[in-house]
Amino acid sequence: MRFDVFTIFPGMFTGFLTESILKRAQQAGLIEIAIHNIRDWTTDKHRAVDDTPYGGGPGMVMMAPPIVHAVESVLGQEQNSTPIIIMSPSGELFTQDIARQLACFPRLALICGRYEGIDDRVRIILRARELSIGDYVLTGGELAAAVVIDVVSRLVPGVIDPESLAEESHNSGLLEYPQYTRPPIFRGLGVPEILLSGNHAKIAEWRRMMALCRTAARRPDLLARAALTPRDHELLQRCPPDPFAHQGPVYEGDQLERPEGGEQGASR
């Protein structure tokens, strides 16, 4: 999958794209990210990309011509088949569902605004979709575009182990159950004993229950939309009083921190 990003601050993407999973995905040829400097499509000697707003008011507005010319020249024949997205706090809220839709395309164009935003004719001319990453205002669209690239890239086949994706928060329609790893006791907090039992059916049931209970407690809106089985409804009846409180045993005194492989930690 290819991402074309249009920005006046191309340097902002450097560290983000050259580390960890996105770096490996690019090296493996699973994703390609091209950053385009909108100023390269200006025609005046100052390379201006903004001007004062018609009708008055504070700040500056990004002008339509450099952005439209940049997108048209980079996408060429593929403009009609490529989703063009303007990052905007007044856009639709970006969700995992939208990420799944976008991941089906071979190419995506992302336009980053600055200042007071972008001349609205860009949206009309390019038939762009506006996406917001949350109900707050960033100084620019670069972080928002980075969020979209990150979330969509994880859904490109080969980037992440499909088993990891399946149970993650939002992919399954529920928030994820709590996760633990070594050491078995830290600052007096043990791991829920069921996870050390080796009983995979019981572990799966406990995790499902915790996912349901946490979603019910924190995101009832998601639970209302989730496809629940009769067994899920039974599990919801067994929710701990506070599913976000510590769910494992609590130790005191010399048991505060056990070395790896201690009596609680041998099986996992």
Ligand X SMILES: C[S@@+](CC[C@H](N)C(=O)[O-])C[C@H]1O[C@@H](n2cnc3c(N)ncnc32)[C@H](O)[C@@H]1O
Rounded Cα distance between 181 and 164, Å, is 16
Residue 91 Cβ vs ligand X, minimum distance, rounded to whole Å: 6
Q: Which stretch binds ligand X (CB under 6 A): 28-36, 135-143, 149-157, 162-170?
A: 135-143
Instruction: Say whether residue 141 binds ligand X (CB under 6 A).
Output: yes
Rounded Cα distance between 38 and 201, Å, is 54
> Which listed residue (66, 113, 184, 248) binds ligand X by CB under 6 A?
113
Cα-flanking dihedrals φ and ψ of residue 229, to 5°? -90, 165
Instruction: Say whether residue 89 binds ligand X (CB under 6 A).
Output: yes
Residue 114 Cβ vs ligand X, minimum distance, rounded to whole Å: 5
Our measurement of the distance from residue 9's CA atom to the centroid of its chain's CA atoms, rounded to an integer in Å, reads 21
Instruction: Say whether residue 137 binds ligand X (CB under 6 A).
Output: yes
Assigned token pair, 254: 């010399």
> Which listed residue (27, 80, 90, 237) binds ligand X by CB under 6 A?
90
Residue 27 Cβ vs ligand X, minimum distance, rounded to whole Å: 28
Q: Beta partners for 37? A: 7
- Name the CA radius of gyration of the chain, rounded: 24
Rounded Cα distance between 138 and 140, Å, is 5
Q: Which stretch binds ligand X (CB under 6 A): 108-116, 183-191, 208-216, 224-232?
A: 108-116
The SS3 of residue 26 is helix
Assigned token pair, 140: 């620019």
Count of residues of this chain found to bind ligand X when the rule CB under 6 A is applied: 20
The SS3 of residue 91 is strand
> Which listed residue (136, 220, 252, 253) binds ligand X by CB under 6 A?
136
> Which listed residue (11, 134, 158, 198) binds ligand X by CB under 6 A?
134
Residues within window 25-54 making contact with ligand X, judged by CB under 6 A: none
Residue 113 Cβ vs ligand X, minimum distance, rounded to whole Å: 2
Rounded Cα distance between 41 and 33, Å, is 19
Instruction: Say whether residue 56 binds ligand X (CB under 6 A).
Output: no
Instruction: Say whether residue 88 binds ligand X (CB under 6 A).
Output: yes
Rounded Cα distance between 12 and 35, Å, is 10
Rounded Cα distance between 70 and 128, Å, is 14
Instruction: Say whether residue 84 binds ligand X (CB under 6 A).
Output: no
Rule CB under 6 A: which residues touch ligand X? 87-90, 112-114, 116-118, 132-134, 136-141, 144
